[in-house]
Amino acid sequence: MTTTRTLRIGTRASALARVQTTLVADAIREDSGCAVELVDVTTRGDVDRASLAQIGGTGVFVAALRERLLDGSVDVAVHSLKDLPTTMPDRLRLAAVPVREDPRDALVAPEYQTLAGLPPGARVGTGSPRRAAQVRAARPDVTVVDIRGNVDTRLKRVTGAAEDRLDAVVLAYAGLVRLGRADEVTEVLPPELMLPAPGQGALAVECRADDEATAVLLKALDDESTRVSVAAERALLATLEAGCAAPVGALATVAGGGGVRTGGAAAHNVDLRAVVFAPDGTASVRRTATGPLGEPERLGRELAAELLAGGAAALMGEQET
């Protein structure tokens, strides 16, 4: 399929956002031959240095991109899927969810290497209440420091001046891989220790709901296994009525591996595990479930109901006190 149009793709201006958008742009060019133009868009999350909990994490990296999409300034918007609010605007469509990068979190601790290896009182930086809670649960003897900024800024906190240096930072492994900085990771944190955010490692490619031509172009980028997995995770988040800054971890996998067909045979199930933490890490509710491949949203809703029955709402409510 080829086209002579130029597709304008909105992106945040950070290095990671541009790398992620370039991955999508390159895939569009390769599949369709369509010319693409990247358009930088500044979001509230890029300019407000307050913590995500303070500025209302849900949508702070998304709203400005969506506004430019709706007013016709761009044809496509690329987001980190974990930043998307769980409610989709009527005038937009999630046209593609490309193959997911590794969804796990990563520790960068040049001196101590691992979370277990950190000494008591070590200072660990993260801007995520979810990561903070799970660090505190695993290591109640360390100090969690709230930090913001792009990947480079956060990594410099473990190598910079002594007065504000941290012993470790926790970031999404996918972002470091995409930036070519995976060699700086000292420990990839397993889901058993730290469940990632719903949608972490995946990208969301949006277009206007009435733009059928662009939707057709983007369809080739969609990965069914990834879409099914994140649908389960996001349905769970929506049912919990929790935003992307809440201390909620979730990870869905298509049974049998990374694809809807594994070992030559079709996979039929989705495995979903989730946890809700108190912000201080002292209490949590954890559940797992398996459901049919064709009903990921139902699986997410049902597992969320189990979490709520186990007391998850009270734990999430503690972040407001």
Catalytic residues: 83
CA distances from 36 to 4, 24, 33, 86, 88 (A): 10, 10, 9, 28, 25
CA distances from 68 to 60, 64, 202, 207, 232 (A): 14, 6, 22, 11, 28
Residue carrying structure tokens 């995770």: 233
Residues in the chain: 321
Residue carrying structure tokens 């992620």: 20
From 131, 146, 170, select the one nearest 248 (Cα to Cα).
131
Q: Which two tokens stand for residue 32?
A: 């369709």
Helices (H), the chain: 15-32, 44-47, 52-55, 63-70, 129-138, 151-156, 173-178, 212-219, 224-240, 296-309, 312-317
3-state secondary structure of 99: coil
DSSP 226: H
